[in-house]
Amino acid sequence: MNDKSDERIRELLKQALPPVRYELQRDLWPQMLERLQTRAAAVPWFDWALVALLAIWLVASPAIIPLLLYQL
């Protein structure tokens, strides 16, 4: 593309997408910190069941470990 077409595209984009003028009413960072501190990561029971099944499978057939590492 040449400079003239670049300028034309730039002008068309400016017309199509007006500038965003939005200011927050308040600071959201203190709220985010509070949520991060109060929330504990809850792991469902079926995730633990899958981890246990994987561990049992790896103990029962250790020859599968290289295959699993290859898939990663």
**How does pLDDT run across 25-72, given as a tens digit for each residue?**
888 889 888 888 887 778 899 999 999 999 999 999 989 889 888 988
Report whether 58 contacts 65 (CB < 8 A): yes
- Residue written as token pair 């250790």: 62
Report whether 64 contacts 57 (CB < 8 A): yes
- Whether pLDDT at 1 is above 70: no
d(CA 32, CA 19): 27
Q: Which two tokens stand for residue 57?
A: 């499978």
| pLDDT confidence of residue 51 | 95
What totals of helices (H) and strands (E) does the chain contain, helices first?
4, 0
